[in-house]
Amino acid sequence: MFKRCRTNFTLIELLVVMLLMGMLMTLMLPAFNRMINGNKVEQLASNLKLGLEQAQSHAVTSRRYVALILPNPQMGTNEEYWLGGCRLAYVDKKRGSVSFDEDGRPVFDRNTRWVFSSWVPDLTWREPVDGAKLLLLLGADDTGYDSFEAGEGLTVPDRITNVTMDRLIGIEDYLAVEGGSRSNVDHAAIIFSPYGGVVGRPGVSDDYNNLRLAVVEALANGNNLIFPSRDASNHPTNYMVLELNRFTGRVKYHNPTE
């Protein structure tokens, strides 16, 4: 009798332990998912940081202008690499161009132009990361984004085609596909000079602020962006921000304020 009661009590203990384990797993699952998704954000941020550092290094060692191509909807090509992919290319600096008005008079445009030369050898596309997107590229002077607060939602577009990368520089004679035809693309690249700094946008005389790249946990559903970690306003709360110093070319993680 004693042995039978002791056996039943052990089974009850086992059921209680299993119940507690189930409850703990249920409580830990969201945190585990956040950890996994957070790793994707960190992975993409790390990829972009490495791409920026490689671009600067190639510019300095080759004594040439090197562009980090960052495909996005405004660029209008390389759709498979939008919002996370990147690749290094050599570009040439051209000063000014001439066109003619309706009366045949020359019109001089003295703004700098950037022309695609070739892809940097032995380096292919860095693939986007599923579950994370590059959704913002800002200047340090962009109002409303001067302070990223930890745990607070970040205001970003919720549709892929609404993502804007106005701080990126356009490239002429861009070769999107090996062996394809060349075309001009807008908002395509961050360009490093042979001295290691980041060049400003043509025609923008005061474009000397640092750049910030915001990588966000996001999933694509057609053209819509879904943010698994979000606040009550549907703004993502899981993100990382890179800051690129325009003068030194150095990249660091921009720490949100607590």
User: What's the pLDDT tens digit per position in 145-203?
Assistant: 878 887 789 999 999 999 999 999 999 999 998 888 999 999 999 999 999 999 988 87
Nearest CA to 137 out of 251, 248, 243, 234 is that of 243
Mean pLDDT of 229-242: 93
Phi, psi (deg, nearest 5) at residue 67: -105, 135
Where does the chain have alpha helices with state H? Answer: 2-62
* DSSP H helix total and E strand total for the chain: 1, 11
133 occurs within a structural domain: yes
11 occurs within a structural domain: no
9 occurs within a structural domain: no
156 occurs within a structural domain: yes
12 occurs within a structural domain: no
Q: Is the pLDDT of residue 15 over 80?
A: no
pLDDT at residue 181, as a whole number = 92
- Between CA 164 and CA 72 the distance in angstroms is 8
| CATH label of the domain that carries residue 46 | 3.55.40.10
58 occurs within a structural domain: yes
Under 8 Å between Cβ of 71 and 78 = yes
Residue 147 belongs to domain spanning: 33-96+108-253
Q: Is the pLDDT of residue 33 over 60?
A: no
Q: Is the pLDDT of residue 41 over 50?
A: yes
16 occurs within a structural domain: no
Q: Which residue has the higher pLDDT, 220 or 254?
A: 220
Q: Computed over its alpha carbons, how large is the radius of gyration of the chain?
A: 25
Q: Which residue has the higher pLDDT, 228 or 255?
A: 228
How many folded domains does the chain comprise?
Answer: 1
Tell me the two tokens of residue 252.
């660091």
- Reported as a single tens digit per residue, the pLDDT across 70-97 is 999 999 999 999 999 999 999 999 976 6
Q: Which DSSP category does 177 fall into? A: S
25 occurs within a structural domain: no
| Percent of the chain residues past pLDDT 90, beyond the cut | 65
pLDDT at residue 207, as a whole number = 78
Q: Is the pLDDT of residue 37 over 80?
A: no
Tell me the two tokens of residue 104.
């045949």
